[in-house]
A and B are shown apart, each in its own frame.
Chain A
């Protein structure tokens, strides 16, 4: 086996290798479906019909896609700086807490809401972004200044956030008299408009789905991240530090500063998950709203090769799998939606850890095996 880098044409590297690993991951999922005694082709047909077969299905699919765009971008931005942010779950949790605090404060100011209610939603969104950014800045700072590795700190902080939200929902910001761990409803001015209401004036009649204007924010985030990484000075600094921190330092870029800034941006993007879930759908903060989306974001970023176009497509794939998986589990109770978690795990393995193997396979298939 050769340690030399495998030369692949650009199109193969950016498109073919991810496609092959996705196909292989879906194949593995198909084998699991066969293993539990169901027909994978029938399951695929049901899944696709559930996700894309109706306007309602598409609405749900895009709602899930929104979550994956945010968490995928969060992981991708950190990747560009050579950082592995596994803390999306924790950052989104803290973002939700900040958004809830902002909404609580806004509820206490009915005068402000009646005069400048249009500012409430932007304030809540900014609070979420700030919460996520702050909670990611901490591990960034710890790595840059104290030398503790971002991976371990973000894992630990995920658990700290999980206990923090339990405490806050029970003791501090929880709804009085409710047995559920949840906050009171957010003020109506602070929540995001559902898409079916937003598009109604344009003559578009859409069924009511959780899809809301956070989806538009996610699309904007895709463009903004592309601009940031490839068209700005900061993006250049981030990519340079990611490629070679010592060369970056030699060129006058501070790896410490870039580490902290990149982590903060990554955390702010993870906060988008709270925007979609808490401000967009639930209109209050509930426990466990992150529901593993942060971890699937790792699969999305790896599959999308860290590029916004790839992240968008990968997020759409997972949106289809999530919505289709939910519909599928109605028809086939033996196939639960946890199947998507399996596919995510296999994809992370294939597109991330076993990338070398898949590059080698593609190279061999293209007749570029090379020596060794």
Chain B
């Protein structure tokens, strides 16, 4: 049963590594479904991680950290909205600006406040999200063969934001597909003129989508700094916002496949960490970098139409101009 234990540990680490990706991918989904391209997921997560770590350290409460992370991320999202929706600026340019602003500001402020080269002091106790043990986890591990082990190791034992993130996937899928609001969001990303003709505010819907995008990035960033790590490190998002973007494209802008893509990319990451410095028979030392580059390469190949086809929302990236 040794390999089962190993599998369970790898899957557990897959879930942990996927959570920030899942949050950011759902965030990107909301924004892009409404027709606002967002390459600033990375920056919003980074700012959220920083704000969450600062607030959690100051207040001693991880939940206050979560609130601060979400606020900071939503503020940055609204800035993107202001440029992209109100002033019809180039959404890519605005996204790049958001990323640079986040990368610079978090280090400048962190260094000025704590003098540790941009790091925040490490969080302890209630300032960090602890691991939750789900009911019956310990019992199932001892009494239910195989499934009990996986329940305890993979499903149970994550921090509260991780379970919130999974709920967000469910909420995103249901809201986009089943609610009037979700229908309108999708419509404004496909044909804003039709939405406008129906007397519904295009800008209002897009701002709502962008704000939800900020909220979800806030959750992801907070998870990074206050649950996965015990504090903020400069550039700690390390490209996760872009991997999430890749997951959205990979999933063809659908929530459940996006969850699948995030789990897949998380699994690749977990395997890469596991295989660091391991020599396999026949292959030799595993080139971990090849595994790390896979999500990006797969996205490029998919986008080029070599495997399947990626179809973004029709109006994504195009500012809406009312006809007169």
Contact = CB atoms under 8 A, between A and B. Distances in A.
B118 A349 contact: no
B257 interface: no
A302 B97 CA distance: 11
Contact of A149 (B105, B118, B303): B303
A348 B305 contact: no
Contact of A151 (B39, B103, B289): B39
Given A167-B289, A345-B99, A353-B94, A32 B111 contact: no
A142 B97 CA distance: 25
Contact of A84 (B79, B89, B92, B306): B92
A338 B107 CA distance: 7
Contacts of A160: 293, 296-297, 300
Nearest to B312: A149
A159 B293 contact: yes
Contact of A163 (B249, B289, B324): B289
Interface string A331-372: 001111011111111101100111111000000000000000
A171 interface: yes
A298 B97 CA distance: 9
Contact of B100 (A1, A333, A335, A344): A344
A333 B108 CA distance: 10
Contact of A156 (B83, B87, B242, B321): B242
B147 interface: no
Contacts of A171: 287
Nearest to B102: A345
Given A153-B300, A163-B289, A353 B39 contact: no
A177 interface: no
B96 interface: yes
Given A36-B108, A86-B96, A336-B107, A142 B118 contact: no
A26 to B, nearest CB: 14
B93 interface: yes
Interface string A149-163: 101110111011001
Contacts of B113: 36
Given A166-B289, A354-B89, A345 B104 contact: yes
A3 interface: yes
Contacts of A352: 89-90, 93-94, 96-97
Contacts of A1: 86
A147 interface: yes
A3 B96 contact: no
B290 A146 contact: no
B88 interface: yes
B96 A298 contact: yes
Classify chain A: how many residues form its interface, as a range: 35 or more
B296 A159 contact: yes
B122 interface: no
Classify chain B: how many residues form its interface, as a range: 35 or more
Contacts of B289: 163-164, 166-167
Interface string B300-317: 100111100010000000
Given A157-B300, A159-B293, A160-B297, A349 B112 contact: no
B305 A146 contact: yes
B246 interface: yes
Interface string B235-255: 000010010011001000000
Interface string A14-39: 00000000000000000010011100
A244 interface: no
Nearest to A170: B289
A295 interface: yes
A336 B96 CA distance: 21
Contacts of A142: 300, 303-304
Contacts of B103: 338, 341, 345
B118 A302 contact: no
A171 B105 CA distance: 36
B174 interface: no
Contacts of A3: 88, 321-322, 324
Interface in A20-76: 32, 35-37
Contacts of B87: 353-357
Interface in B105-127: 105, 107-109, 111-113, 115, 118
Interface of A: 1, 3, 32, 35-37, 84, 86, 142, 146-149, 151-153, 155-157, 159-160, 163-164, 166-167, 171, 295, 298-299, 302, 333-336, 338-346, 348-349, 352-357
Interface of B: 39, 79, 82-84, 86-94, 96-105, 107-109, 111-113, 115, 118, 239, 242, 245-246, 249, 287, 289-290, 292-293, 296-297, 299-300, 303-306, 310, 321-322, 324
